[in-house]
Structure 1
């Protein structure tokens, strides 16, 4: 395992010397103080959930509009029939079309976008992209609001900071909730909004401890363990 740099080690020592475990607001303050890179790092949140995603009734998947956005530009591809394409273009989609983009993804493995929005009437064609988009978390889905006839509203929400998330096969959930350039309140508010939605989506089939661990970190910084009980109270 490669040796961590001096700034990382100093940041890690600062966390270890602090009086943890931390609540969400304290973690928001600490993640800014321990960011180690010379660029505007993302603020990442990582959860370990007590679910077994091999069972469909324990899958945790959804979306949430972060109150302070993500801090980055989101590239949106809209796959729609001609009747909805003008609406998508006017709403600010970066790429709009159908056949040509389905072919580019299938034949050229083209993936220069962050979110795919599709109308229900073209899902027969879009479904062929499942093996490419699915593993990358890019497949449009009605539950996340990315399969809809109201493409303008979907584009607006995504551009404003709506994110999608999905638990992996090991029961872990990872996503970015902002940038270290955000102030502490903005990071805290985004983290709380995300956690509220994750808790709301707890599958009825999940037994025992649902939220097993939570950490917050910057892209290049050390993880900050967050007190589980404090998160449960703040996420209500």
Structure 2
């Protein structure tokens, strides 16, 4: 059995066992319990009443966080012709065509997001086994297969994140850093929660959000009341 550190025990004591907090209360607690010596991330975990084994119950989309993630993403663009210049001018960190496809095939993965133009997807398809498991495979559903490279690059740099349900029916996402203000963290967490609600598949019946919680990178989970969170947002 793993030993619980004194820091973790102290943080856990601040959270009332079994209580469901409002989003604002939970974020205030996050600030109190994120006591590691580095700028911890805030993690959002939303368990959904979906069965990811069914194609019509997949939950996947993107959302731009109003205050960014606190992490500067290295964006790679796979394009050719005039689109190369467009991507470079938008601020992409790496831009290329078949040369970059070959480099990635060789094991190079020093980037955090990949965008590709539709005419490059035949070549990009060969990278599925490398990019897929890392969540880096370009997709039209998430806006990363597009000819509108300028907009796509700028959105990712500004804080666009992708969310998708895992095999257990849970959406996990980072939503900022401890150094953010409570207001900034609230805006970001709310934006993710709203986007997940909006992405509800039409085929899902019954309770959609089963549980909703946040936690710091090295801290305990703080449970949020999903119904109260929706009322909280509606009353703003």
Bin for the TM-score computed over the shorter chain: over 0.9
Partner of 1:46: 45
Structure 1 position 28 matched with structure 2 position 56:
no
SS of the aligned residue for 1:68 comes to coil
TM-aligned CA deviation for residue 156 of structure 1: 0.6
Partner of 1:233: 231
TM-aligned CA deviation for residue 98 of structure 1: 1.6
Structure 2 CA distance for aligned equivalents of residues 132 and 192 of structure 1: 32
Question: How many residues in Structure 1 have an aligned counterpart in Structure 2?
Answer: 234
Query: Which structure 2 segments of 5+ residues have no match?
Result: none
Q: Is this contact kept in 2: 1:82–1:97, CA < 8 A?
A: no
Structure 2 CA distance for aligned equivalents of residues 235 and 195 of structure 1: 10
Q: Is this contact kept in 2: 1:80–1:119, CA < 8 A?
A: yes
Q: Show CA shifts across 1:49-92 (max 9, x none).
A: 11111111100000001011111111100011132111111111
Structure 2 CA distance for aligned equivalents of residues 4 and 159 of structure 1: 37
| 1:60-75 correspondence runs (5 A) | 60-75=59-74
| 1:177-196 correspondence runs (5 A) | 177-196=175-194
Q: Show CA shifts across 1:2-33 (max 9, x none).
A: 2121111100011127x932111111111011
Worse-matched range after superposition: 127-136 or 73-82:
127-136
TM-aligned CA deviation for residue 235 of structure 1: 4.9
Q: Identify if the C-alpha distance between structure 1 residues 235 and 205 changes in structure 2 by more than 3 Å, giving closer, same or farther.
A: farther
* Ranges of 4+ aligned residues in structure 1 off by more than 6 Å: none
Q: Show CA shifts across 1:117-174 (max 9, x none).
A: 1111111111121222112211111121111111011111110111011111111110
| 1:148-167 correspondence runs (5 A) | 148-167=146-165
TM-score scaled to structure 2, two decimals?
0.95
